[in-house]
Amino acid sequence: MNGQSENRESEGRYKAIAPAPHRADIGIVAALPMETAELMDHLKKVRKYKAQGQTVFEGIREGRVVAVIHSGMGCDRARKAAEHLIFGHRPYWIIQPGFGGALDPSLKSADVILPTEVVNMAGQLVEVPIRPELLPEGISTGRLLTVDKILRKSSEKAEWRDKSSSIVVDMESYAVAELCQSLNLRWVGLRVVTDTATDELPPEILTITGPTGAFRLGATLGALWARPAAIKDLLKLRESAQIASEKIAHYVGHLIDALPIP
């Protein structure tokens, strides 16, 4: 009798637990949900896994299992999210797509960059071998710089371009590229330009953006009250982000299809 009771209790305890995730062919680590919004719309049979404060979305594209996690902004969050995805879903490849700021003046808004090297502010560097089939028409290559704060002014971008010999900047790629190198896991990054080397980002961007990339409502309202013209600048950034998200969906889709899986 006690055995039967224990069995019923055990069945009830585990009934709601989702099946173990499939081994992913591709793992995707992005800072912001907006960066992968268009891409997620193209995945089929999407389901969600929550554990340890992290959420992973798993779906299918052309028969390949794709696991997606959103880390929030910054290297610490990116590394933590990547570790969660890698050890839980065991992908053969990590793709890290997202928005980036141009350091090279020749890059235009919505240009796409596949990094061949990733460097941090201390000068530590991770090399990224790029296979020819990963380079469809329209993609540029070069060094990516990862920084610990938004480079808002064109003068800051020029300074770090000279210091690092980089063509594009972000706040997450180095952490994940270095982690993958340490685990002997293949990594490929992809950045779409949302602000050019000569663009000056609105000063409000430093105070209204939370660590997850979402706008803080109170700070946003306060900023708009103090400088009503800021709404025009923020709407322009929103439009650039939407275009960049569409580019990410297109080119990450190409990578998912092209990357060799054992």
Radius of gyration of the chain (CA): 20
Per-residue confidence in pLDDT tens, the chain, 262 aa: 444 443 444 334 333 445 566 789 999 999 999 899 999 999 999 999 998 899 999 999 999 999 999 999 999 999 999 999 999 999 999 999 999 999 999 999 999 999 999 999 999 999 998 877 778 888 999 999 999 998 989 999 999 999 999 999 999 999 999 999 999 999 999 999 999 999 887 765 544 454 555 544 444 444 444 555 656 666 677 788 889 999 999 999 999 999 999 8
pTM: 0.84
Cα–Cα distance measured from residue 174 to residue 185, given in angstroms and rounded to the nearest whole number:
14
* CA–CA distance, 30 with 172 (Å, rounded to integer): 9
Place of tokens 């209790």: 9
**What is the Cβ-side half-sphere exposure of residue 123, based on CA atoms within 13 angstroms?**
2
- CATH number at 45 reads 3.40.50.1580
Identify the domain containing residue 181 by its residue range: 2-258
Question: Is the separation of the CB atoms in 143 and 119 below 8 Å?
Answer: yes
The CA distance from 115 to 255, in Å, is: 14
Q: How many distinct structural domains can be found in the chain?
A: 1
Q: In this structure, what token pair is assigned to residue 85?
A: 């995805």
